[in-house]
Amino acid sequence: MTEPATRRREPTTADVARRAGVAKATAARALGGYGSVSPEVRERVTAAAQALGYRPNELARSMGTGRSRTIGLVVGDIENGYFGLATRAISEVAHAAGYEVVLVNTAERHADEADAVRLLLDKRVDGLVVVPAASFDAEHLRAACATGRPVVLLDRRRDDVPALSVSVDVVPAVRELTGALLAAGHRRIAYLTSLEPEFDHPDLELVSSPIADRLLGMRQAFTAAGVPLAPDLALFGAHSPAATAALVDRALEGPDPATAVVSSDAVIALDVLTRLRERGEDLPGRLSFASFDDAPWAPLVDPAVTAVQQPIQQVGAECARLLLEQIRTPGAGPDPGAAPVARSFPARVVHRASIGPGPGARR
């Protein structure tokens, strides 16, 4: 019978100190990057640590310095390329500054988000970037701010949380896109999103500020054209291919079907296009289509998809910069008693071939 291999003992700070010929406290300061240590001693300690294969105990170091050099990132859907690009930008800025990123995916579930925030705080992250999953119950975010650790909100604003937010200003672009559809003769324009409405309210109070901003842009365009907006075509719950297919069927069937469909992201766009192909729909002959997020495949399909291009990488990078600034300079964040500060980057419409004449134009 083979005996299990004995686990190798990890070198400790005391081992490094003995090899370098210094006191344990001196080795700890040199390894932790705090306190006063001469360059010659720091070099000896570093050489000893490398020779022994020493790896610092990050938890112990964070307890000694008050800093873990990690930031927590809580996103709604990591499979969505939109958040994937944001995550990459945040990671690049953080790594360049010597910080690691701890990522948690919530699947847009509020309870999972609250658990993730508490877990990351328990892990002693130095700050948090969070994509809020819902517009209700922000107690976990306010509690995070109350710890003194900075919080930055990504993509979605919260007026009831004393934190900076960085998002995309989509209203002008949505107004332009909707205006193009209206000018082409479309009046029944369906909008599909994976999120769920929280309230059955005539003003369509929604889960997240980006969705509210998109519908605001649509309303503005309809109002400017003197055309009533059909609230029954704001369709929620496109969280899977099957669910999206059902919503497409709902939008295109019945006595007054949609003549144009707009998807809220590139993941839904693919599911919508798949269902339209299954139904044999003629794009852009009988039906027009557009999408948020200008995916790499959007100009390659036939017809090439008109899309709202959102600078999410800039948004992610700015989130990381703002967070690191607050970590390095306590008090640099918003005043708890003041209104939250929001920063935004403009979206733009990339016009391609997926919008054709609607019934109004044909008449």
Q: What angle do CA 69, 328, 141 make, to 5 degrees?
A: 75
Digit-by-digit pLDDT tens for the chain (363 residues) are: 455 445 567 888 888 899 899 998 888 888 877 778 898 989 999 999 888 888 776 555 555 555 789 999 999 888 888 999 999 999 999 999 999 999 999 988 889 999 999 999 998 999 999 999 877 789 999 999 999 999 999 998 888 899 999 999 999 999 999 999 999 999 999 999 987 765 443 444 444 678 889 989 999 999 999 999 988 899 998 989 999 999 999 999 989 999 999 999 999 999 999 999 999 999 999 999 999 999 999 999 999 999 999 999 999 999 999 999 999 987 666 666 666 678 999 999 999 999 999 986 655
Beta strands 70-75 and 127-130 are parallel
Predicted pLDDT at 333: 66
Residues forming beta bridges with residue 344, ordered by sequence position:
167
Phi, psi dihedrals of residue 133, rounded to the nearest 5°: -85, -20
Please tell me the CATH code under which domain 169-310 is placed. 3.40.50.2300
- Which part of the chain is CATH 3.40.50.2300? 70-162+312-345, 169-310
Predicted pLDDT at 212: 84
Tokens representing 210 are 């980006």
Beta strands 348-350 and 306-309 are antiparallel
Please tell me the CATH code under which domain 1-48 is placed. 1.10.260
Beta strands 288-292 and 127-130 are unpaired
The model carries a pTM of 0.79
- The DSSP result for 315-343, as a single string, is HHHHHHHHHHHHHHSTT-S--TTSPPPEE
- Which part of the chain is CATH 1.10.260? 1-48
Predicted pLDDT at 87: 96
Helix (H, G, I), strand (E, B) or coil at 151: strand
Predicted pLDDT at 7: 55
Q: What is 70-162+312-345's CATH topology?
A: Rossmann fold (3.40.50)
